[in-house]
Structure 1
Amino acid sequence: MTGVRTQVRAPAAGEPAAPPLAPGTRPAPGYEILRHLMRTGWLDLYDAWSDERACRCVVKVVRPDRRDEARPRARLLREGRWLCTFSHPHLVRAYETLEWPEPLVVLETLTGETLSHLVHRLRRRPAADDVALLGVQLCSAVHYLHGRGLLHLDLKPSNVVVDCGHAKVLDLSVARPPGRAPAGLGTFRYLAPEQARGGPLTAAADVWGIGITLYEVASGDVPFDPRGTAESTDDGDHHWCPQLEVTVPPVGSRRRLPRAVASAIDGCLEMDPSTRPTVTELAASLGAILPGYGLRTPSSEEPGTGDVATFPRPS
């Protein structure tokens, strides 16, 4: 990407947002829109049909009212090209990235539900073994990304889909190589302190992301709810974040957990990135908690049962 700045057109007062594409629309040859799934500040996601593959897929495009902006288009194409070259059992797969007639990324359709939906749906919190298994799988995906020179920088429950105990990480829209980054890159309530502050970012920022995701899954909520929006940003616009000044309360203060699980989560959320475990160390700590985990891959691991809610699994 170049350093080109674009002007964002602010909607006129009372101007409605551009409607999503209607069912039956073909955004590109071979793809038909079935329904609109969701809208972010700059993207639309659609349930779609792939003629070539004869299956459903997810189509990700820039919103109609932002198609003329260079930056969203470049971000989407960058993410799509990365995902098309990546292959990992705990990372969403991209089938294709198109530049014409408009930037478009085609993703696999995932079954299951996001962790954020799961956390709010469950009446009881997941078992400690399930939390540990989830952590191992997140570490696996993040380790893979780091090995390809990228930080995810937006790990959170809404960016993880779980089905039958198997997790997949979504959304590389703010991913970038380690190094300097603008303040506020990511989603405010999940930012590592160094992300909120701005400056050099390392793999430790993603360790924080894993930790705060596990914290919310284990306890039912994030440790603090900062003022400002929960939207992701990469433009350096940011608000005050409590993680810059307030130590995260131990997860054990929110929910009783085995000491090893609580210590692993709390260790990820140290304010000083140099004191957090590495991704490999975290995976080893969490893997040691799982009965009989041994050297099996996370994707083949079955969650343990407990006296509290467990992640959905086959009957």
Structure 2
Amino acid sequence: MSFLRGSENYVWCTTSVLGKGATGAVFQGVNKNNGEPVAVKTFNQLSHMRPHDVQMREFEVLKKVKHENIVKLLAIEEEQEGRGKVIVMELCTGGSLFNILDDPENTYGLQEQEFLLVLEHLTAGMKHLRDNNLVHRDLKPGNIMKYINEDGTTTYKLTDFGAARELQEEEQFMSLYGTEEYLHPDMYERAVLRKPVGKSFGATVDLWSIGVTLYHVATGQLPFRPYGGRKNKETMFYITTKKASGVISGTQTTENGPIEWSRELPAHCQLSVGLRKLVTPLLAGLLEMDPHRIWSFDRFFSEVQIATSTTPVHIFHVNKASSLKVSV
């Protein structure tokens, strides 16, 4: 049983798995010519059963995007023994944002500087996709990678374009993609609850996923949490569709119990009061069910621009002997 597999210029070991998904897996490999470490995405039987144009889509999308906040495509090669195409990408040694949030020190979300970095980089990568009329359709912490630069600084990059496709802002699509907890409620209704909904979906489904992701990054937990988690599908749908405008989280702590709604970030969140004031309306605008009230991409991009370009001013509150950080 050989664990080594390869293509013309790359070789990888099937025991060093970086990630696994429905249609394939990503392994760590090396360039045969110079020993450079890479990430190699291979595809399984299920992925080969999809229509040919859907299979080709990921390759086409990757060829179109070139941005420092999107994982770089190095090559598309044929695997030996006719196993089909593989995608070779730059290796992000910092792992995924999902793994970072899983770290006990990030139980209550990322520190402020790191959060701002994620916000800035995720938005820049997203803007590049929109400039090319692309939707990602599976945005979540597991698809945001941490790349450590040579000088030790961090760059966050979007990855996994298996569900991505071209879509103008006013265009719609019908197919279902994404990960349950990060899905727009309309898609959740059809994909998870299997209801025959005649709705089609627009590019704004990415905005909802960004909202859930940013809440997760800021607090270390998901915004909408029914009792029993993922298996309590009807309550999950109820929480996301029945919440009032401006509400950014809904939690059910007992079986069939009441939902605790909140318009604020939880007390344990690591962000300063100043930054919270900027981030809370941002989350409310993204986690908006009403199609007339959800933000447009342009609004999102400009609000993030404001949030990330403020200067923190440190103030010592003498009466309370506390240090305040105000964003100006």
**TM (normalized to structure 1)?**
0.73
Does 2:106 match 1:126?
A: no
The equivalent of 1:245 in structure 2 is: 241
> How far apart, in 2, do the equivalents of 1:107 and 1:251 lie?
40
Q: TM-score, normalised by structure 2?
A: 0.70
For residues 250-261 of structure 1, the aligned pairs below 5 Å read 250=262, 252-255=264-267, 257=273, 258-261=276-279
Contact 2:185–2:289 (CA under 8 A) maintained in structure 1: yes
Check the 8 A contact 1:151/1:177 in 2, yes or no.
yes
Match of 1:171 among 152, 157, 160: 160
Deviations 1:103-134 (A, max 9, x none): 21111111212111111212453234542342
1:98 maps to amino acid: E
**Change in 2 beyond 3 A, CA 1:72/1:90:** farther
> Using a 3 Å threshold, how does the CA distance of structure 1 residues 189 and 49 change in structure 2: closer, same or farther?
same
Secondary structure of the corresponding residue to residue 265 of structure 1: helix
Distance 1:41 1:22, change over 3 A: farther
Q: Bigger radius of gyration, 1 or 2?
A: 2
Query: Which position in structure 1 is the counterpart of 2:57?
Result: 78
Q: Which runs of 5+ in 2 are unaligned?
A: 148-152, 191-198, 250-261, 312-322
1:119-268 pair list within 5 angstroms: 119-121=101-103, 122-123=105-106, 124-163=108-147, 164-178=153-167, 179-182=172-175, 184-197=176-189, 199-225=199-225, 240=234, 241-242=236-237, 244-247=240-243, 248-249=248-249, 250=262, 252-255=264-267, 257=273, 258-268=276-286
Shift of 1:190: 0.5
- CA offset at residue 39 of structure 1? 2.6
Q: Give 1:233's aligned residue.
A: none
Partner residue in 2 for 1:5: none
2:308 and 2:127 map into 1 onto residues whose CA distance is 19
Identity %: 22
1:32 aligns with 2:11: yes
Structure 2 CA distance for aligned equivalents of residues 72 and 53 of structure 1: 36
Q: How many residues align?
A: 264
CA RMSD in angstroms, aligned pairs only = 3.1
Tell me if the contact between 1:115 and 1:157 (Cα under 8 Å) persists in the aligned partners. Answer: yes
Cα gap change, 1:40 to 1:84, in 2 (>3 Å) = same
Task: Tell me how far apart the structure 1 counterparts of residues 53 and 39 of structure 2 sit (CA, whole Å).
Answer: 19
* SS of residue matched to 2:59: helix
Counterpart of 1:47, as a letter, is Q
Summarize deviations over 1:52-97 as a string: whole Å, max 9, x none: 453111111112x547x43187645421232133201111111122
What is the CA deviation profile of residues 228-285 of structure 1, one whole-angstrom value per residue up to 9, with x for unaligned ones? 979xxxxxxxx65525534242462424552111111222101123312223322322
Report whether the alignment pairs 1:92 with 2:76.
no
Q: Which has the higher contact order (CA 8 A, sep 6+)?
A: 1
Is it true that 1:103 corresponds to 2:85 in the alignment? yes
Larger strand fraction of residues: 2
Are the structure 2 counterparts of residues 130 and 251 from structure 1 closer, same or farther at C-alpha, using a change threshold of 3 Å?
A: farther
Question: CA, structure 1 residues 186+66, in 2 after alignment: closer, same or farther (shift >3 Å)?
Answer: closer
Structure 1 residue 171 displacement after superposition: 0.8
**Residues 9-39 of structure 1: CA deviation (Å, up to 9, x unaligned):** xxxxxxxxxxxx843322x222211343133
Which stretches in structure 1 are left out of the alignment for 5+ residues?
Answer: 1-20, 231-238, 294-305, 308-315
SS state of the match for residue 281, structure 2? helix
The answer as to 2:24 corresponding to 1:43 is yes
